[in-house]
Amino acid sequence: MAEIKLTDLTKSYGPTEVLHHVAGEIRDGEFIVIVGPSGCGKSTLLRMVAGLETVTSGEIRIADRRVNELEPSARDIAMVFQNYALYPHMSVRENMAYGLKIRKLSKAEINRRVEEAADILEIRQYLDRKPRQLSGGQRQRVAMGRAIVRDPQVFLFDEPLSNLDAKLRVQMRLEIRKLQQRLGVTSIYVTHDQVEAMTLGDRLMVLNGGYVEQFGTPIELYDRPASVFVAGFIGSPAMNFLPATAEEEGMLLPSGIKLIAGVGQRGPVLLGMRPEHLIPDAAGPIAIEVEMVEQLGANTLLHGKLSGTDHAMVASVSGHVSAEMGTAHRFSVTPELLHLFDPETQKRLEA
Amino acid sequence: MLKRVHFPSSPLPYLLVAPQLAITLVFFIWPASQAMYQSFLIEDAFGLGSEFVWFENFEALWADQHYLDAFLRTAVFSLLVAALSMGVALLLAGFAQRVVRGAMFYRTLLIWPYAVAPVLAGALWVFMFNPTLGIFPYFLDFFGIDWNHYLNGNQAMALVILAAAWKQVAYNFLFYLAAMQSIPNSVIEAAAIDGAGPGRRFFSIILPLISPTTFFLLVINMVYAFFETFGIIHAVTQGGPGSSTTILVYKVFNDGFVGLDLGGSAAQSVILMVLVIAMTVVQFRYVERKVEY
């Protein structure tokens, strides 16, 4: 049983505060992904949980035990690093056994655990090799093996897949997910890749500039992004944003067209619509002057500008669409799929 | 293989290596071959004539108990100097690496001894350990140790080892610090998460990973102890008392310039040269290649 509780956590380097009042509760067995652009403080947050960075203020509790002052070794955690951090002078077996030897487990027990983990990760035939004789994917497995033999209360992953090639990354992603579900160990996973975050996490914590923008399930983040940042960060291609004015009977777009939608707001708003929610409709209100077409096979991306304005727009249409450059395509959008944000605070406005 | 045609022949490359070749020839090859030649000669006591005797000088050395003693003494001396200075440097580097604030200040201070000339370093230790004036004999007196390195051969040996090691600590420290800093931080952090305390991390992770540096420094320190400690010994003990601190390089000087046995002295320096060349070969053949990761 290891739930993690972060309470009003801040981190400062000298006078510079890099994490601001981070809070959140992670349930036992949950897979949490911390996601955000580089420099948002996500790795710092993970390293604070690991005990590799000190806590400036606030509290971290693992399994209802305050760990702020505990050494990393006393927190009963295991971590997988971005560069794997294998011990280069030890064989795979010794790498995995290192932590167990320190805990003074019996030889037989160490061997049993190492071989069990090696079987799970399918690295048994590499046990006597040195890390330098392994490929990137194999090293990653060893790093995970080193984490799971310890049977810790919490797994921490610090961008473990970012050094792998695209195909291997997708494969390892699935394996990590399956492994975590099988072992049921509470996990925190840091990444800057939103696809990785969406596919892996039970819940996502979106960090931006040291602030938690939103903490929720992938679907919550997609359907009801709490801020312009989350809306733009989650989903690919990114959401379209248009400055608009909310009026009595609809939304006035910068192209002068009025979008008929029930709106509980008045005044200037930032209107967000996802490219995949724009439906081709000859009579639709949104006209996009197409400048570039990306054929992805399953769907087609139409890049262009909102007719008569300089606002860039992307529409994602399923199937193959041939579009002449410079012609206007018309789209409609279901009012429920529109997102409204306050242009001042960048926060979500509820319709 | 690149073919010759890729490089049009020109005198420029020869011109560019000429200064280096000239320096090597004048300051190394020439004196070395002179020493080699001289080691086959025996001169008379007045330096008026010499006789070519082939290996007689070497045979005489082989039969000379004093020389064999000096050989053993040099082995003990250089091993102890290397072990002491590398051990202390390793310890200091381990500490310095953990220091965050003012790290530059500490490091600069620790590097200073390297800039001290050997004779000055020796003079420093002579003053500190002077049996009547020195501060250390005064302290040692409290522990019932009667320090007089002018009379006690073992104490004299200890003193030159201390002085020679002290001077080399800075050099070793620099290399060890650089080696430690090249270890990825995440490896150390992984060990910390695995439950290893600072001591365990040092011995099971850091020490094996810097072993190439240790091998390199071992050879460098042996060569240092063989040759460059002459100034220290000359300033501190002049090889005495008796011949208890006469190591090979000091014996070369003593026999050649004090005893005026030029042939025997040259033969000794040829043996020294062969030893150091052998160590350098070991260095290049095994150490440079045997990088453990």
ipTM greater than cut 0.85:
no
| Cβ atoms < 10 Å from Cβ of B127 | 12
Instruction: Write down the pLDDT at residue B288.
Output: 58
Rounded to whole angstroms, the Cα distance separating B78 from B75 reads 5
Q: In order of start, what are the domains of chain B with their CATH numbers?
A: 56-287 (1.10.3720.10)
Task: Give contacts of B193 with chain A, Cβ < 8 Å.
Answer: 50-52, 72-73, 77-79, 99
* Cβ A143 vs Cβ A162: under 8 Å: no
Preferred mutation among A62, A76, A79 to probe B, highest tally of B CBs within 10 A: A79
pLDDT tens, residue by residue, B157-208: 888 888 888 888 888 998 998 888 888 888 999 998 888 888 888 889 898 8
Does pLDDT of B3 surpass 60? no
Instruction: Write down the pLDDT at residue B293.
Output: 46
Rounded to whole angstroms, the Cα distance separating B164 from B82 reads 9
Q: How confident is the model at residue B290 (pLDDT cuts 50, 70, 90)?
A: low
pLDDT tens, residue by residue, B228-280: 888 888 888 887 787 778 888 888 888 777 777 777 788 888 888 888 888 88
Does pLDDT of A63 surpass 70? yes
Task: Determine the residue of chain B that is closest to A133 in CA distance.
Answer: B293
A 92-131 → B contacts, CB under 8 A:
98-99, 102-103, 130
Q: How confident is the model at residue A227 (pLDDT cuts 50, 70, 90)?
A: very high
* Cβ A83 vs Cβ A102: under 8 Å: no
More confident residue, A249 or A93: A93
Task: Determine the residue of chain A that is closest to B184 in CA distance.
Answer: A85
Q: Does B133 reach chain A within 8 Å, measured CB to CB?
A: no
Preferred mutation among A49, A82, A89, A113 to probe B, highest tally of B CBs within 10 A: A89
Inspect the interface and report whether the beta carbons of B196 and A72 lie closer than 8 Å.
no
Rounded to whole angstroms, the Cα distance separating B2 from A54 reads 57
Specify the amino acid at residue B226: F
Instruction: Write down the pLDDT at residue B64.
Output: 79
Inspect the interface and report whether the beta carbons of B292 and A83 lie closer than 8 Å.
no
Rounded to whole angstroms, the Cα distance separating A100 from A115 reads 13
Q: Does B183 reach chain A within 8 Å, measured CB to CB?
A: no
Task: Determine the residue of chain B that is closest to A150 in CA distance.
Answer: B194
* Cβ B150 vs Cβ B160: under 8 Å: no
Give the count of alpha carbons within 13 A of A325, CB side only: 4
Q: Which of A211, A185, A202 is nearest to A21 (CA)?
A: A211
Q: In order of start, what are the domains of chain A with their CATH numbers?
A: 4-232 (3.40.50.300), 242-349 (2.40.50.140)
Q: What beta strand segments (E) does A70-210 contain?
A: 77-80, 154-158, 186-191, 203-208
Tell which phi-psi region holds residue B114, choosing left (phi > 0), alpha (psi between -120 and 50) or beta. alpha
pLDDT tens, residue by residue, A318-328: 888 877 777 88
Inspect the interface and report whether the beta carbons of A79 and B200 lie closer than 8 Å.
no
pLDDT tens, residue by residue, A68-121: 888 888 888 999 998 888 998 899 999 999 989 988 889 999 999 999 888 888
Q: Does B47 reach chain A within 8 Å, measured CB to CB?
A: no
Does pLDDT of A253 surpass 70? yes
